[in-house]
Amino acid sequence: MSEGNGVRHILPMSDGEYEDIVQTLAATTASTARGSSASTTTYLLEPRMWMREIVNAAKKDLRYAEGGMIKDIPKGNANLIIPKQKQYLAGGSWGANVTPGTAVNQTALSNYDGVELVPTWYNSSVAVTYDVIQQNVVDYVGQAREELTYRAGDIVDQAVVTAISGATESTSTAAGSSTIFGGDATQASELTDGDIITTDMVAEGRKKLTTDSIYYWVGGTGESKAAKASYSKNPWKNNDDFLLYIAPEQEEAFLTDSQFINASEYGSNKVIMNGEIGTYLNTKIIVSNNTKQVASAGVGTTDGSAAGTDINTCVMVKAKKGYALGYLKRPTLHIMDYPRQLEVDLILEQAFGAKTVHDDAIVHINVSQV
């Protein structure tokens, strides 16, 4: 709904109410489309040629959404409930064995639960005035279309990273995600420059996913056999679907490691994912610029402590099990004339939500950037 020089959005709130937001439009006009002033003088009788093609900037690598379970929420529904089997029943959970001639003890199936995925509307718009289209050498409508298409993927990837970062950490009484720290650190505040990622951490992350034991951190006390929890987690199997998401800083560490270089040569018919730089210990290594960063002394680390240096939180995950992405509205781009404002409006409409499903299928690897 338009209102003056703005757009009104009616957005659903978590409590069932609706929020009425009026967004002021900032059209791309001739004054913003002409670029910076020339650095040299060109006289009227001297020819000048303009390239009609923009030298584009570089896009970020968007990769996290690919590793999740992706579902569409049918029209007419507000949320998505993902039923899950928390774990297979262990031997001690079954009723006691009996001899023939005696009623078999029954066992209650109490190992099922659900995850609620709540989508949010993410709408963006660009307006290009008619005089820009008529007079400017650049195809601003085409560029706006590309910018909004890139926006559609970037905001999804960021939402997935936010959901993964919020995974519940394992404790002495409940299963959750696991954490690895670079160097000899036992919490993010102890990380220093040089505590970078190593191939040994891939092996450790693999262990944390495949074992049914939990080793947890408490107030910086390191994990050891003494810190083993009394309960079990899911022993995830690596069927070519363990993924390790890293940032470009960690890519450098791997590409200068001879162990990784020697082990990551393919020579097989495996499917290579976008952004994948190789495999190590049957784990696909994928680079993404959206890998979480926390500046030195910053908050937002997975263990809640202030970062001891600039760090990245890399993620090792069992694909399609750790987290899910649900679309209420797939990205849709509307392009329309708006004669009253003498402009063309481009509007990106989408609604989605991201949520962890099996937190114990996620391992956070906190390491320094340098």
Whether 16 is in a domain gets the answer no
Inside any domain, residue 85: no
Domain coverage including residue 251: 171-323+360-368
Averaged pLDDT of the chain: 86
- State the pLDDT confidence band at 352, using cuts at 50, 70 and 90: very high
Beta strand spans in 183-275 (E):
213-215, 228-232, 242-246
79, part of any domain: no
* Block residue for tokens 């109410």: 17
Is 143 a member of any domain? no
Q: Each residue of 258-285: pLDDT tens digit?
A: 888 776 554 444 544 556 888 889 999 9
- Please state, in angstroms and rounded to a whole number, the distance separating the CA atoms of residues 250 and 242: 17
Which pair of tokens denotes residue 197?
């990622």
pLDDT tier at 216, thresholds 50, 70, 90: confident
Distances from the Cα of 128 to the Cαs of 108, 273, 344, 346, in angstroms?
62, 36, 5, 8
Number of domains in the chain: 1
pLDDT digits (tens, 9 = 90+) for 179-202: 999 998 988 999 999 999 999 999
Closest CA to 343 of 149, 133, 124: 133
Q: Is residue 269 part of a domain?
A: yes
Domain for residue 142, yes or no?
no
pLDDT at 127: 96
Q: Is 207 among the domain residues?
A: yes
Report CA torsion sign: 353, 357, 359, 365. negative
Gap between the Cα atoms of 354 and 356, Å rounded: 7
147, two tokens: 């910018």
DSSP 310-327: SEEEEEEEETTTSEEEEE
Domain annotation covers residue 203: yes
Q: Name the least confident of 25-39, 155-169, 309-323.
A: 25-39
Contacts 24+ apart (CB under 8 A), 261-269: 263/199
pLDDT tens digit string along 66-124? Answer: 999 999 999 999 999 999 999 998 878 888 998 999 999 999 998 899 999 999 999 99
DSSP code per residue over 54-105? ----PPPP--GGGGSEEEE--TT-S-EEEEEE--PPPGGGSPPP--TTSPPP
